Structure 1
Amino acid sequence: MATSTPHPSQRPHLAAVVEDHLYAAAGWVLSRAGWRPRLETYAGYGTPDRVRVLARVLLSRPRPLSPEHDVLRAGRRGFRHFLTVPAPHRRVRLQVGGQTSVVTCDRAGYIDVELPTSAPLAAGWQPVVLTCLDEPVPCTADASLLVLDERTRFGVVSDIDDTTMVTAVPRPLLAAWNTFVRHPSARRAVPGMPELYRTVQEAHPDAGFFYLSTGAWNTATTLRAFLSRHAYPQGPLLLTDWGPTLTGWFRSGRTHKEASLEHLMSWFPHVRWVLFGDDGQHDVEIYDRVARRRPDRVRAVAIRQLTSGQQILAGNVPDAGSSAADLDVPRVSTVAGRDGSELALRLGTVPGVLTD
């Protein structure tokens, strides 16, 4: 049996210490009020021999959970997803492919663990059963894993904000409104992008789709509902924690994206990726570095271009900041367009992207 433990740190950052004390106080009050741990699961991924399981243990008022409850949670306004209290350092049993492991969630309740499998898993979506131990009534939840085997040759990594959905994240005030106040059902898909992604999936039925964002795991339920509502291909979300870390006030979004891309390319060396992003934040620079470091792993880069007005509101001077034109890597095709329709036209000229 494998056991994971929180990452050690000799001198935690002051912000993390304060956050831990606040969560401990809130957890004590809620526990006295009858709240109990519940498992919030996220889609993981892996190979036939190794998997990455993602989940979180949170405190929740005692009530039966159901699919209808998940739908209601997905429809809550953004700020309510951040009103959560973790149940730290709980032991959780994982059952994957006939193998059982026990892991321990970290100080924020997160489970992010890599495990070997006792027998090779079949490609495709595989089930995981998680059980929170050490409770009078253990809670159980189901999760899923996307397994890619050596026959998979094509994959997609997509940014979310302003690539799949219109959120205007570079604009601080509007981004805060979209994230914390606006109702999830009001969010719009970038025109043509769902259709483009479905075309890619039809050309490569065994492709793996991954949605990479600097957004918080608190928004995972809402993001899954958005992607499903607009019929984007199903795939794991790769998000990040929100709030202080053991080393600073906040995590680096750029570091998170670069590390996630490196992780995928290390785990799946047989896959060549199409990277989708936009030029409103740092996707161009991140994809440029990845393509230069691993040109044999990147089939193409597709950048959604913001308008000049959007660039100005984002704090960028048009034509003076990073753009798709700056990404010029030998052996890696780069295209740009204002929406999914334009990107589809340009990707149509790249061999092996929209056709098998």
Structure 2
Amino acid sequence: MNFKLLLARIAARIERWTDVLRRPSKAEPSITPYVGYATPQHLIVRGRVLATRQERLMRPDQSRFANFRAMIGLFRTDEMADVIVSAGEVMTRTDEEGYFTLELPRGDATGRTIVTVTLGKKSWQCPVIIPDTAASYGIISDIDDTMILTGAYSLARNIWTSLTGNAATRLVFPDAVRLMARLNTVVSPVFFVSSSPWNFYPFLREIMSKSQLPEAPMFLRDYGISETQFITGTHGDHKGQAIDTILAANPNLPFVLIGDTGQHDAHVYADAVKRHPGRIARVILRQAGPRQDAHAISALRAAGIPVHVAPSYDDMDF
């Protein structure tokens, strides 16, 4: 057996035993709904089952230490594996980290719809965004240093910003909000792809909601331990796979890719152009950090993709 796989299995079992031992005897499972999306045939309903709900704090005057405690609390999840969840007659079981996906018949609806997901005797409302039939393109956007100031190009700055801020203090770029309005996100479907962990999902949703960024499906990264995973894949692998999933779910739409130059988004997008010729309409990049991704940007332009690069999205003419 592969040593890394063996290590993952041992670590996963230790984590499960630890979760059971520290779980309160009267703990009840609770669903954290994620915004779902649609394929031509199905509604993809997503969420995670935890033993307790995550507490979210949102006070601008909160101390950095209080913010730090709250953010660390997001990682103290007590995920519940092998739990049955259902929507109508469709049911599934949660995986080792508590995640679930339900595939329901799509029907004729468009826009935002709500799917009731049942767990035991309780139910939760899970939103699903279905593209408007008038949409002529879709949008895939990074989050860190694209929509929200993070400093992700510097590991130390990224960790400091992520763990000592809260939803009331984190800065959403005003030009990012204006860019989304220019791209007519009322009609065009939006997807957010980030290497931030799924534990940050409630935190990110709160930031975006108060900043008038569109409600949209997110594709975040699982940093948990499972029977098949001990160390996650690379930043580029995660984003590339998410882009592949989104394009497959929307086979008739070209896409605008939005990112920044701080975390090699141009390289990820150039690889996506190679895998999906004719599907990428343009690339929009914020200049962030010391990297400029000149080689990848040149490769995109050589492939005939319009690329817009500037410190502010307001400076881009397209």
TM-score where L is the length of structure 2: 0.87
Match of 1:338 among 298, 311, 316: 311
Please give the residue correspondences for 1:1-356 in structure 2 after superposition, counting only pairs within 5 Å: 12-32=5-25, 34-47=26-39, 49-60=41-52, 72=56, 77-95=70-88, 100-113=89-102, 115-117=103-105, 120-133=107-120, 138-148=121-131, 151-201=134-184, 205-245=186-226, 246-306=228-288, 310-311=289-290, 316=291, 324-343=297-316, 346-347=317-318
Contact 1:48 1:122 (8 Å CA) reproduced: no
Contact 2:261 2:293 (8 Å CA) reproduced: no
Deviations 1:100-154 (A, max 9, x none): 21100001101134x251x623111111111113xxxx33211111112655321
Q: CA offset at residue 38 of structure 1?
A: 0.5
Deviations 1:132-185 (A, max 9, x none): 13xxxx332111111126553211100000000110112111111122222232
State percent identity of aligned pairs. 22
Separation (CA, whole Å) in 1 of partners of 2:172 and 2:299: 26
Separation (CA, whole Å) in 2 of partners of 1:224 and 1:27: 29
- Residue 248 of structure 2: SS of its match in structure 1? helix
- Aligned in 2, Cα 1:43/1:259: closer, same or farther, shift over 3 Å? same
Separation (CA, whole Å) in 2 of partners of 1:20 and 1:121: 43
Contact 1:92 1:105 (8 Å CA) reproduced: yes
- Aligned in 2, Cα 1:328/1:205: closer, same or farther, shift over 3 Å? same
Contact 1:44 1:54 (8 Å CA) reproduced: yes
Q: CA offset at residue 322 of structure 1?
A: 5.0
Deviations 1:63-115 (A, max 9, x none): xxxxxx97x456663222111110111011123xxxx21100001101134x2
Instruction: Say which is worse superposed, 37-46 or 225-234, in terms of deviation.
Output: 225-234
Contact 1:48 1:147 (8 Å CA) reproduced: no
Instruction: Say which is worse superposed, 215-224 or 151-160, in terms of deviation.
Output: 151-160
Deviations 1:236-271 (A, max 9, x none): 111121233414322332211111111111121111
Query: Structure 2 regions of 5+ residues with no counterpart?
Result: 60-66
Separation (CA, whole Å) in 2 of partners of 1:31 and 1:12: 31
Question: May I ask how many residue pairs the two structures share in their alignment?
Answer: 307
Query: Structure 1 regions of 5+ residues with no counterpart?
Result: 1-8, 62-68, 348-356
